[in-house]
Amino acid sequence: MNLKHASTGTAILLVLTLWAPCRSVPGQAIQSLSIDIVAPTNAAGKRYLPHEEKFEIRFSNSSNDPLLLWDEDCRFGYGALRFEVKVDGESHTVHRREVPTHVWTNFPPETVIVPGKGSFSRKVSLTGFFWGEREWISPPEPNTGKDVEIKAKFEMTSTSDSLNEGVWLGRVESSVLTLPVVNPKLKIPQDYLWNCCPRQALKLLKDDPAWINKPEPEYQCAPLHHAARFGYKEVVTWLIENEANVNAVAYNGFTPLHLTEKKEIADILIKAGANLNQKDNYGKTPLLNALETRKIEVVEAIMDSGFKPNLYTTLVLDRRDLALKMLMEDTNLVVGGEGGGDLGRNTTPLGWAAEHGDIELAKLLLEAGAPVDDGTDCFRFGGTATPLCNAVWAGKTEMVEFLLKKGAVTNVVGGKFVRSLTEYAEKYSDRRTLELLRQYGGKGNLENRWQRTPQQNLLPDRIASGEFKIPSEKAK
């Protein structure tokens, strides 16, 4: 907890003091702690609660002895402060979201001191972030033109750690403030959606329907992008009912379905006609994007819709049996060249097989017509990645040897801060991988990699004629 001496300035101070037991100093009896919300005033002298900017919570000690409190950024003090809010007669609690247990290894238990006859303050932003996500759940929405009632509550319960440290134990509440919540930075529906204010966003949309499909200038996101991303079902439903473009394209080619994380939102978008084959700027469909970003609910929604994934996506789904079936049954299947560019790796089916060391699948793909150097742009590393790159980066030595013997070229991108794949192997690979790259080094080039004609699946005829034997189920 970042507690510091408070300065009232032009703020108006409302205080309610409650008494609670404390063991800040062993052997002492009763200590008193009070808290209050320090409400700033605007130029007209009217009190308000900032929605985005930080406001002050003051802790005061009316006794002569110091008090110990757990720091807010450790496991014991994290959820001690919350707010009770009443809006239009309805009450709810504003509390800090739960965070994974492992986070606290980075924030060991710490205490802060409230001096005798003194006070300290902490700063709160209801739209702030902690550990990569929004810190507070259900903050009151700003700029409604109505006042809200709000009070702060602070509670610390007894644990073995608190007893050992002599930390104050008890519960206190502030006075109730009645005032508006203000955020002058929010102007358009996208602003409100991004800042957890779906009701205000919907009000603006209803007041001015011109915003329904109008993108904001910076990232070209329509309101539906943000509503889907943050799971605002009521806003998503209203937008679709009022002819929002369910396939609107924003930054990096993302559609609303690329951005959502919730199954119920994905279901609504799919039912409204979301294009399940729409690729973003990285060549990824919504399903592939959801798989690689671990949005399992979205994967379930898309698969439940009956969507038939392409070969690469089938492999990422770990459905090798289905991939084999696709290869053998679809005589027009393009098995190479459509994986799409990726910032870190090749995303073709053969690239996937190389990364996972699946030699039997690699054989099958090559027999079906996949180019051994099925290259994709690797922007981060400044060149072209191929299945050989994937095999080297993943440490799959047997796959490296297999691809090199099949004619894979070596003058491809090596990785971040290295000039070649051989230089990467010198720093990070085993001796055998390095020997293989040196042995086969300097072969071929990839200058015409984008001029290939579509590959035809050769497997069905070869299997029928007995030229090719179907491999065993899954090679480990």
C-beta separation of 256 from 246 below 8 A: yes
pLDDT tops 90 at residue 459: no
Angle in degrees, CA 275, 286, 475, rounded to 5: 125
The burial class, CB within 10 Å (0-12 / 13-18 / 19+), for 101 is: exposed
Predicted local distance difference test score (pLDDT) of residue 27: 35
Q: Work out the pLDDT band at 38, boundaries 50, 70, 90.
A: very high
Take residue 293 and report the two structure tokens written for it. 């970003």
Q: Work out the pLDDT band at 28, boundaries 50, 70, 90.
A: very low
3-state SS record for the chain = CCCECCCCCCCEECCEEEEEEECCCCCCCEEEEEEEEEECECCCCCECEECCCCEEEEEEECCCCCEEEECCCCCCCCCCEEEEEEECCEEEEEEECCCCHHHHHHCCCCEEEECCCCEEEEEECCCCEECCEECEECCCCCCCCCEEEEEEEEEECCCHHHHHHCCECEEEECCCEEEEEECCCCCCHHHHHHCCCHHHHHHHHHHCHHHCCCCCCCCCCCHHHHHHHCCCHHHHHHHHHCCCCCCCCCHHHCCHHHHCCCHHHHHHHHHCCCCCCCCCCCCCCHHHHHHHCCCHHHHHHHHHCCCCCCHHHHHHCCCHHHHHHHHHHCCCCCCCCCCCCCCCCCCCHHHHHHHCCCHHHHHHHHHHCCCCCCCEEEHHHCEEECHHHHHHHCCCHHHHHHHHHCCCCCCCCCCCCCCCHHHHHHHHCCHHHHHHHHHCCCCCCCCCHHHCCCCCCCHHHHHHHCCCCCCCCCCC
What CATH number was assigned to the domain covering residues 318-465?
A: 1.25.40.20
The burial class, CB within 10 Å (0-12 / 13-18 / 19+), for 217 is: exposed
Mean of the per-residue pLDDT values of the chain: 85
Q: Work out the pLDDT band at 230, boundaries 50, 70, 90.
A: very high
pLDDT higher for 450 or 187? 187
Cα torsion 388, 390, 393, 396 to 10°: value is -70
pLDDT tops 90 at residue 375: no
Extents of the domains making up the chain:
12-182, 189-307, 318-465
Taking only the tens place, the pLDDT of each residue in 193-208 is 999 999 999 999 999 9
C-beta separation of 57 from 14 below 8 A: no
Predicted local distance difference test score (pLDDT) of residue 31: 55
Taking only the tens place, the pLDDT of each residue in 116-160 is 999 999 999 999 999 888 999 999 999 999 999 999 999 999 999
pLDDT higher for 335 or 218? 218
Predicted local distance difference test score (pLDDT) of residue 246: 98
Q: Does domain 189-307 have CATH number 3.30.1330.200?
A: no
The lowest-confidence range among 10-14, 106-110, 247-251 is 10-14
Distance CA 351, CA 283 (A): 14
